[in-house]
Amino acid sequence: MTRVQAVFVIAAILVLNAALTPASAGELSWQRVQRGVELTSIDLQAPPQQRDRLYVVRVDPARAKLTVALASEKKTAPQTAAEWCRTSKLAVAINLGMFQTDGQSNVGYLRHGSHTNNPRWNDYNSVLALNPSGGSDPPALWVDRDQTNAIQQLARYDVVIQNLRLLARDKRNVWAKSDRRWSEAAVAIDSTGRVLFLFARAPHAMRELNDLLLKLPLGIVAAMHVEGGPEASLSIHAAGIDLDLNGSYETGFWPDDTNQRQWPIPNVLGVVSEK
């Protein structure tokens, strides 16, 4: 994917620390962001050299509006997650997925309404669909393409996103052991149909991170990778929280913890602000 020059400074994490106490894995404390949206921070209890927290934004899609902001649709240049929040009136924004060398197209299939960002399905097996036209469909639909053929059902949804799978819908870790590690931005769904935005700055091997996610009291049943390394981003701007998180470490590309800026990205998944 295209690596672009960093242009935006991360907001002070102290703002969030004053409002949100880190939770242990056994007892989560959720802070209201807006209707249907909650935030927590979990001590991952990682080795000392990579101790970090996992930030989790939990969204009830029946109560909060999930959407996407795409540079290809808005005919604009890539922006940081923080900038996408401002320009697209989003309370929360996370990477939508890895993108191609044209700097705009998602690596997997991506459609928003009548706008198709990438018309080609690849071999990635995780699909998230949002905002159905029919009242009988769930507001967020998660599909494993190797387990079911749901193309017709996906056509009824306003947003369809295909990405690299982390956890299959049956809570199965599909990653092999590897020494490669990176900061991670991911999207998951829980057993009640809530959508979770996940961010960890500390570098993790994906198999180990997946196992950890399944052990946490989050009820996660499936997850997809949306970005890694310095491009991994999560921004929250609501309820007095102004938080702009960015990743850094990525084996073979950015093998240190020096990056302190969000990088511009062409596509984000977000929550529409109530304001």
Note the pLDDT of residue 275. 77
111 vs 47: CA distance, rounded Å: 40
- Round to the nearest angstrom and report the end-to-end CA distance of the chain: 34
pTM recorded for the entire structure:
0.90
Residue with the bigger pLDDT between 113 and 3: it is 113
Q: Tell me the per-residue pLDDT of 163-204, one tens digit each, with 9 for 90 and over.
A: 999 999 999 999 999 999 999 999 999 999 999 999 999 999
**What sign results for the dihedral spanned by CA atoms 73, 74, 79, 84?**
negative
Instruction: Please give the structure tokens belonging to residue 42.
Output: 């979990």
Contacts 24+ apart (CB under 8 A), 103-106: 103/2, 103/4, 103/71, 103/78, 103/266, 104/70, 104/71, 104/72, 104/78, 104/266, 104/267, 105/72, 106/161, 106/162, 106/163, 106/267
66-70, strands of its sheet edge to edge: 66-70, 267-272, 90-95, 233-238, 241-246
Q: Tell me the per-residue pLDDT of 68-116, one tens digit each, with 9 for 90 and over.
A: 999 999 999 999 999 999 999 999 999 999 999 999 999 999 999 999 9
Q: Quick one: which of 107, 135, 128 has its CA closest to 221? A: 128
Beta strand segments in 45-125, E: 53-59, 66-70, 90-95, 110-112, 115-118
The owner of tokens 């899609």 is 61
Judge contact between 191 and 167, C-beta under 8 A: no
26 vs 6: CA distance, rounded Å: 37
Helical (H) or strand (E) element with 85: helix 81-88
Q: From the centroid of its chain, how far is CA 151?
A: 23
Note the pLDDT of residue 135. 81
Q: Tell me the per-residue pLDDT of 10-65, one tens digit each, with 9 for 90 and over.
A: 333 333 343 344 455 557 999 999 999 999 999 886 555 455 899 999 999 999 99
For residues 225-242, one letter each, b for 16 or more C-beta atoms within 10 angstroms of the residue's C-beta and e for the rest, the string is bbbbbbbbbbbbbbeebe
Burial-class residue 169 by CB neighbours within 10 Å (0-12, 13-18, 19+): middle
Contacts of 45 (CB under 8 A, 6+ apart): 25, 51
Instruction: Please give the structure tokens belonging to residue 174.
Output: 């599909």
